């Protein structure tokens, strides 16, 4: 898959492959262009190849085949310390015997900057992450969130054009993690630095990124801005990995332009947008987001086929009502409704017709 920005590419993977044993490829023919100043997230489950790609870009792993370019320059044979890349890890990787100020000064000393310039850059980087008062402390005297801010400041202190982040917020609690997501995003917008970010947390990827590359089995399954990724997944893996998703199995009955009908095993017909189907008779998996399912007749578009659903469980979640239903033999079909005035609670055992706008159901690849 070539997912690129052509001549604008600041980082380019060209036909990159990686094998650790000479037989099994953990990264398979990767072609990926990343624009200067872009925030690109590599998202995927464990073992999907995303971290290996980051480590090859950093120089800690060597590509088995293909070329990696930075600002037009091949860097396969360039050692990590000569690539001028900032790195932020999940475990912070701060030197415990050094103060915060000394940790930040270290990459500048390696580059042989003068003392006055080092002090100015360290102060600027600490102020950038609101940690200016902590220069004399050691990492052990800081909380996890404070250590992560320092690790971020150290990655930025020598003003690199590219910063790589490998699961940097994975060790933080939920509230602090969400706060740091917005802080990192604001810093990126202010500095204009290129960021390549690795995570398995799809919420984090959607919140922070300009584009997201969804990895599975060593390949990019889809590369797109967050909204497009969520609203228009290109295959069953992306639809199931990004957000919550309902699936129904069936056979394409009719197809015309941007619409198709699918016959379920129960004989019911539903409407969908054809994505990975091209002709009647093909098996397909239809994907529908829970928040797009409607049970009120006035909210279902006119002329759309409805499907009967049996309510199995109704869960009050504060801002939303979550209703688990049996639909065409699937006992885990979920509908989410906003908690609003007049929203009716559905009772277990109740049968209701449900529907959705045809473009909100996508006929994807079969099981």
Question: How far apart are the C-alpha atoms of 27 and 125, rounded to whole Å?
Answer: 35
Confidence of residue 367 (pLDDT cuts 50, 70, 90): low
Mean pLDDT over all residues of the chain? 91
Sheet-wide strand order for 25-35: 2-3, 25-35, 9-19, 65-70, 73-74
Question: How far apart are the C-alpha atoms of 64 and 59, rounded to whole Å?
Answer: 13
Residue 307: which of 272, 363, 353 has the closest Cα? 353
Give the architecture (CATH level 2) of 2-236: 3-Layer(aba) Sandwich (3.40)
End-to-end CA distance of the chain: 22
325-363: pLDDT as tens digits: 999 999 999 999 988 767 778 899 999 999 999 999 999
- Please report, rounded to a whole number, the percentage of residues in the chain having pLDDT higher than 90: 69
298-310: pLDDT as tens digits: 888 888 889 999 9
Asked if the model's pLDDT at residue 229 lies above 80, the reply is yes
106-157: pLDDT as tens digits: 989 888 889 999 999 999 999 988 888 999 999 999 988 888 889 889 898 8
Higher pLDDT, 4 or 320: 320
Delimit the domains of the chain by residue range: 2-236, 244-364
Protein fold of 244-364: OB fold (Dihydrolipoamide Acetyltransferase, E2P) (2.40.50)
Weakest-pLDDT range from 28-42, 142-156, 188-202, 223-237: 142-156
Q: Is the pTM of this model over 0.85?
A: yes
């Amino acid at each position: 898959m070539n997912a690129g920005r052509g001549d604008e590419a600041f980082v380019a993977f060209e036909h990159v492959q990686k094998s650790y044993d000479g037989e099994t490829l953990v990264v398979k023919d990767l072609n990926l262009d990343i624009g200067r100043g872009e925030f690109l997230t590599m998202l995927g489950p464990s073992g999907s190849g995303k971290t290996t790609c980051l480590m090859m870009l950093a120089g800690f792993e060597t590509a088995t085949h293909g070329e990696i370019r930075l600002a037009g320059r091949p860097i396969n044979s360039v050692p990590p310390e000569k690539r001028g890349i900032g790195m932020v890890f999940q475990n912070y990787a701060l030197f415990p015997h050094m103060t915060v100020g000394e940790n930040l000064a270290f990459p500048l000393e390696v580059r042989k900057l003068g003392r006055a310039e080092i002090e100015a850059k360290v102060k600027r980087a600490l102020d950038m992450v609101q940690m200016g008062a902590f220069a004399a402390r050691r990492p052990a005297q800081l909380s996890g969130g404070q250590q992560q801010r320092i690790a971020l400041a150290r990655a930025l202190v020598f003003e690199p054009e590219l910063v790589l982040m490998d699961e940097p917020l994975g060790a933080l609690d939920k509230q602090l993690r969400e706060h740091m997501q917005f802080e990192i995003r604001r810093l990126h917008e202010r500095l204009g630095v290129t960021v390549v970010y690795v995570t398995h947390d799809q919420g984090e990827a959607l919140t922070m990124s300009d584009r997201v590359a969804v990895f599975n089995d060593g390949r990019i399954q889809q590369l797109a801005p967050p909204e497009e990724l969520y609203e228009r997944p290109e295959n069953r893996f992306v639809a199931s990995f990004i957000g919550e998703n309902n699936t129904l199995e069936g056979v394409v009955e009719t197809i015309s332009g941007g619409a198709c009908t699918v016959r379920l095993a129960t004989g019911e017909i539903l409407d969908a947008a054809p994505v990975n189907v091209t002709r009647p008779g093909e098996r397909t998996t239809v994907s529908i987001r829970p928040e797009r399912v409607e049970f009120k007749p006035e909210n279902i578009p006119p002329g759309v086929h409805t499907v009967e659903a049996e309510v199995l469980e109704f869960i009050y979640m504060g801002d939303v009502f979550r209703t688990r239903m049996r639909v065409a033999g699937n006992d885990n079909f979920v509908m989410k409704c906003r908690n609003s005035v007049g929203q009716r609670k559905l009772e277990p055992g109740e049968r209701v017709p449900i529907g959705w706008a045809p473009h909100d159901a996508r006929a994807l690849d079969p099981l």
